[in-house]
């Protein structure tokens, strides 16, 4: 076994996911195998409907495979009941989505502190940690704003602060810049790159090849399968030659 394998954070073995709807079924993942190391930065690319979000949901313990094995930090997740799975998810995984998923009518600070309520952290410490997280994403001066008073880029930074407030080792992002202009997108990706350089493991679905080129590794998904798995330098070069 190599050192990399010893430190694998996420391991998928022949993962399949079939959605059944009445008589018909959709085979969203058709046997996906990978290993992602602690501290790695991985971009997932591929056409719409290819299974990227399904894969991210499995990685994030939001869903379970129909077949295959998924190991999280060496633990076979099939052995976790729903409560243990949720507890692991809350402790170890932050999520960022395209639509920010912030609660309006609550300040940025309250949005960011929310996961700590579920984690049972006391109010004073919740506020301190939410302030720290907002500071980390460069929004100390917007703590008491409602999300509706913030730009798209700022909203996504609040969402990233919320994802990080529980100090998870892993951040999963599903098209985090899908609703942002190119300037805000660049800001979000600089922020994610910064967090990765501080040790965060990052898995990001994106359509933007410039963004993928900043990840260490690119997984390409087509029709429910991983069709390539390359380091991004090779990816950028292949793109330039194409």
Q: Which residues bind Mg ion (CB under 5 A)?
A: 52-53
227 is a contact residue toward ligand ADP (CB under 6 A): no
Structure tokens at 113: 């502190």
28 is a contact residue toward ligand ADP (CB under 6 A): yes
Asked if 96 and 113 touch (Cβ cutoff 8 Å), the reply is no
Measured from the CB of residue 236, what is the shortest distance to ligand ADP in angstroms? 22
Measured from the CB of residue 174, what is the shortest distance to ligand ADP in angstroms? 7
Asked if 63 and 17 touch (Cβ cutoff 8 Å), the reply is yes
Q: For ligand ADP, which is the closer residue by CB, 45 or 161?
A: 45
204 is a contact residue toward ligand ADP (CB under 6 A): no
- Out of 5, 6, 19, 144, the only residue in the binding site for ligand ADP (CB under 6 A) is 19
Measured from the CB of residue 25, what is the shortest distance to ligand ADP in angstroms? 9
- Which among ligand ADP, Mg ion, none contacts residue 48 (Cβ within 5 to 8 A by kind)? ligand ADP
Q: For ligand ADP, which is the closer residue by CB, 48 or 148?
A: 48
CA distances to 42, 210, 217 from 39, rounded to whole Å, are 10, 21, 12
Structure tokens at 165: 């407030």
- Which among ligand ADP, Mg ion, none contacts residue 201 (Cβ within 5 to 8 A by kind)? none
220 is a contact residue toward ligand ADP (CB under 6 A): no
DSSP string, 46-115: --TTSSHHHHHHHHTTSS--SEEEEEETTEEGGGS-HHHHHHHHHHHEEEEETT--PPTTS-HHHHHHHH
């Amino acid at each position: 076994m190599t050192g990399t394998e010893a430190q694998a954070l996420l391991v998928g073995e022949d993962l399949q996911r079939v959605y059944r709807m009445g008589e018909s079924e959709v085979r969203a993942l058709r046997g996906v195998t990978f290993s992602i190391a602690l501290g790695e930065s991985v971009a997932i690319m591929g056409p719409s409907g290819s299974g990227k979000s399904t894969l991210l949901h499995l990685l994030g313990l939001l869903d379970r495979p129909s077949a295959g094995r998924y190991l999280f930090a060496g633990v076979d997740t099939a052995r976790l009941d729903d409560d243990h799975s949720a507890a692991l998810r809350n402790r170890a995984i932050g999520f960022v989505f395209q639509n920010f998923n912030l609660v309006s009518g609550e300040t940025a600070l309250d949005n960011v502190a929310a996961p700590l309520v579920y984690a049972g952290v006391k109010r004073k410490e919740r506020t301190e940690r939410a302030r720290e997280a907002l500071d980390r994403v460069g929004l100390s001066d917007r703590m008491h704003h409602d999300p509706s008073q913030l730009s798209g880029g700022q909203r996504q930074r609040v969402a990233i602060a919320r994802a990080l407030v529980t100090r998870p080792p892993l951040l999963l992002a599903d098209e985090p810049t899908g609703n942002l202009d190119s300037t805000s997108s660049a800001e979000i990706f600089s922020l994610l790159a910064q967090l990765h350089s501080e040790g965060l493991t990052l898995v990001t679905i994106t359509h933007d090849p410039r963004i993928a080129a900043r990840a260490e590794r690119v997984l390409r998904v087509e029709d429910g399968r991983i069709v390539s798995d390359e380091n991004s330098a090779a990816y950028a070069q292949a793109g330039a030659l194409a």
